[in-house]
Structure 1
Amino acid sequence: MVSKLVQGALAVTLALGGTLVAVGPAEAATTRYKNCTALHQKYKHGVGKAGARDKVRGSTKPVTNFTVSNAVYAKNAHLDRDKDKVACEKR
């Protein structure tokens, strides 16, 4: 059984001649946060893409305990000021 959301996406994709990309329930329910304070309420140390590394200067140690989620990062990439694929990193 195919959900109505997937059926609608398939119809739009076929009509536009694009590529169909599967969207799971976790990706569909992802929240876009207004700022890092709001994001930190759910993701204490920030959120990053799989394989991302926190970019640091000098002797500062990188944050390694951020939540890894490509879907959440994609919705909140606007909060990644240093463009290191980790948004709102915090110790």
Structure 2
Amino acid sequence: MKKISMVLLSLSLVLGFSFSTLDVAEAKGEVKKFSNCKAMNKVYKGGVAKTKSTKNKGGKTKFKPFVSKALYNANKTKDRDKDYIACER
């Protein structure tokens, strides 16, 4: 019983730290600049939007974009239609 509880505790700590690293990196200003949309869509399927109220001008999309002003600003050259969503799909 002790072994199982230690394994579960360790697993929850590892998962907790792995999910919080993205927020910490954005807070420090360390955002990833992607080389192209294919690389960005591997991480963010719907692309990256500047604000949550941003609307897509390019038509219907399959996925909802991830919202991050800092990440969008680092990759705004990938926003071809200038609708404040980079690499939308």
Q: What TM-score results when the alignment is normalised by the length of structure 2?
A: 0.63
Task: Give structure 2 stretches of 5+ with no counterpart.
Answer: 1-23
Task: Give structure 1 stretches of 5+ with no counterpart.
Answer: 1-23
- Which structure is higher in helix share? 2
> Are 1:52 and 2:70 counterparts?
no
How many matched pairs?
64
Instruction: Give 1:26's aligned residue.
Output: 26
Q: What TM-score results when the alignment is normalised by the length of structure 1?
A: 0.62
Cα shift at 1:47: 0.4
Distance 1:64 1:52 in 2: 14
**What do the CA deviations read for 1:33-85 (whole angstroms, capped 9, x no partner)?**
110011111111100111211103xxx42566110110100000000000000
